[in-house]
Amino acid sequence: MSDTFHVSRSYGFERQLQVYMAGLQGQRPTIAVNPEALEQQASAAMTPEAQGYLGGMGSSMRANREAFQRWQIVPRMLRDVSQRDLSVEILGTRLPVPFLLAPIGVLSIIHPEAELAVARAAKALEIPMLLSTASSKNMEEVASAMGETPHWFQLYWSKDFDLTASLVQRAEQAGYQAIVVTLDTTLLGWRDQDIQNAYLPFLLGQGLGNYVSDPVFRRALPDPPEENPFAAVRHFVNIFTNPALTWNDLAFLRQHTKLPILLKGILHPDDARRALDSGIEGIVVSNHGGRQVDGAQAALDALPRVVDAVKGQVPVLFDSGIRRASDIFKALALGARAVLLGRPYVWGLAQGGEDGVSEVLQNFLADLDLTLALSGHTSYSALTRDALVREP
Ligand SMILES: Cc1cc2nc3c(=O)[nH]c(=O)nc-3n(C[C@H](O)[C@H](O)[C@H](O)COP(=O)(O)O)c2cc1C
Ligand SMILES: O=C(O)C(=O)c1ccccc1
């Protein structure tokens, strides 16, 4: 990837030609362009345990996808789409593209370079990243890999409030620009495959990058984690999240950071209103990719009601089920300011580390640009529900 990359208005067309010309010379893409094929390829490259971990509850995952099929884009013609803008404005900054990489924990299961490979690919393409609390690499390393490209920190709110404050302060120090508190995972859902495979990655000591590097976490251990990893894992399991949290606790977070706070995992419009009352800066509509509640509402079905409840007072972001550019288009037309891209980039990571992630992201950018143009629009930030129809 050249270091002069910018999302240009002819990006989609250029990428098409580049991939096509390479194909003509016998170099067909090794990372599948089609998302279903990409997922299959990635599964073949992973152990059954890793496949199970990346999976979810069939029903909620299926619901996420089906919800996208109920909305269709109605392209408009003859509107001069020669100048296109993929950027969106959020929390006072302009993101070059209308998506961020979703926080996905324990990526060392997928590839040894884990979140660092992801960060390098993202930075080269100016794609923002949201780092998980449960990352394999620590937040300071990932922040320096991201440099000037926007990066936010996802918070799992520990039972140990001092640890929570420490994580947030480290994120602020390291240059993260927002804190995204995940609300839907105060416990882990009943995940058939992980339980069947006896595979909970953090029980194997993975995904503790931000914990073993934290002074508050270390102080609570009988021995240093390097000497006694088992004690570190046991402590982590005891304190990692806090099902006793309530709306009142958000004030604690506010006292410990100057960064904007977003809440991830909202589906009910009353929770969205409650979030506004608590003075937060943004919401992420999500059902955690169908990994937490079997039978949960599809995230896209929840989006319009949350957007209506929020009435533009704070940005509403969206994730769960984004597989190609048209999905991003639909979520933005339904009122999301930006989306989080989840599993697809991990499928790229599984097959080619940094290069694999980069391929997937470049294809997304191209498809985003072409989808916008061919639908008759010039800016993702200006899309409205008029761009879509709902299946009767
Ligand atoms: C393997 C895996 C691990 C995840 N880990 C986290 C996490 O640590 N923190 C978090 O807030 N969300 C986590 N998520 C949820 C994602 O941030 C996002 O909500 C979800 O992947 C969206 O669904 P999709 O990938 O099907 O589009 C994880 C998702 C997956 C698939
Ligand atoms: O698996 C997840 O969905 C998730 O959020 C998580 C939580 C803790 C560790 C790793 C991932």
- Give the model's confidence band at 9: pLDDT under 50 very low, under 70 low, under 90 confident, else very high: low
pLDDT for the residue 1:
35
Does the pLDDT of residue 3 top 90, yes or no? no
pLDDT for the residue 274:
98
Residue nearest to atom 3 of ligand 2 (CA): 291
286 among annotated binding-site residues: yes
Does the pLDDT of residue 277 top 60, yes or no? yes
Ligand 1 test: best mutation among 135, 288, 320, 330, most atoms within 8 Å of CB?
Answer: 288
Does the pLDDT of residue 6 top 80, yes or no? no
- Give the model's confidence band at 202: pLDDT under 50 very low, under 70 low, under 90 confident, else very high: confident
Distance 288 CA to ligand 1 centre (A): 5
Q: How do residues 111-129 score in pLDDT, each as one tens digit?
A: 999 999 999 999 999 999 9
Q: How do residues 43-90 score in pLDDT, each as one tens digit?
A: 999 999 999 999 988 999 999 999 999 999 999 999 999 999 999 999
Q: How do residues 206-236 score in pLDDT, each as one tens digit?
A: 999 999 999 999 999 999 999 999 999 999 9
Compute CA 189 distance to the chain's CA centroid, rounded to the nearest angstrom. Answer: 19
Task: Give the residue-averaged pLDDT of 176-187.
Answer: 98
Q: How do residues 32-44 score in pLDDT, each as one tens digit?
A: 999 999 999 999 9
Burial class (CB in 10 A: 0-12, 13-18, 19+), 246: exposed
Distance 339 CA to ligand 2 centre (A): 19
Pick the CATH number of 11-380 from 3.40.50.150, 3.20.20.70, 3.30.365.10, 3.40.50.10860: 3.20.20.70
Does the pLDDT of residue 2 top 80, yes or no? no
Residue nearest to atom 3 of ligand 1 (CA): 104
- Integer Cα distance of 162 and 139 in angstroms: 18
pLDDT for the residue 318:
99
Residue nearest to atom 5 of ligand 1 (CA): 104
Give yes or no for residue 322 CB within 6 A of ligand 1: yes
Does the pLDDT of residue 4 top 50, yes or no? no
Give yes or no for residue 52 CB within 6 A of ligand 2: no
pLDDT for the residue 391:
87
Distance 105 CA to ligand 2 centre (A): 5
160 among annotated binding-site residues: no
**Which atom of ligand 1 is least distant from the CA of 284?**
19
Residue nearest to atom 28 of ligand 1 (CA): 104
pLDDT for the residue 7:
58
**Which atom of ligand 1 is least distant from the CA of 319?**
22
Known catalytic residues?
A: 288
Distance 140 CA to ligand 2 centre (A): 20
Does the pLDDT of residue 8 top 60, yes or no? no
pLDDT for the residue 200:
87
**Which atom of ligand 2 is least distant from the CA of 182?**
5
Does the pLDDT of residue 5 top 80, yes or no? no
For the whole model, what pTM was predicted?
Answer: 0.97
Give yes or no for residue 275 CB within 6 A of ligand 2: no
Q: Can you give the residue ranges of every domain in the chain?
A: 11-380
Task: Give the ipTM of the model, two decimals please.
Answer: 0.99
**Which atom of ligand 2 is least distant from the CA of 291?**
3
Q: How do residues 378-391 score in pLDDT, each as one tens digit?
A: 999 999 999 999 98
- Integer Cα distance of 361 and 358 in angstroms: 5
Residue nearest to atom 20 of ligand 1 (CA): 289
Which residues, including other chains, have CB under 8 Å from residue 359's CB and lie 6 or more apart?
A: 29, 31, 348, 352
Give yes or no for residue 358 CB within 6 A of ligand 1: no
What is the share, in percent, of the chain residues with pLDDT greater than 70?
Answer: 98
Q: How do residues 319-328 score in pLDDT, each as one tens digit?
A: 999 999 999 9
Does the pLDDT of residue 29 top 70, yes or no? yes
Task: Give the residue-averaged pLDDT of 7-11.
Answer: 67
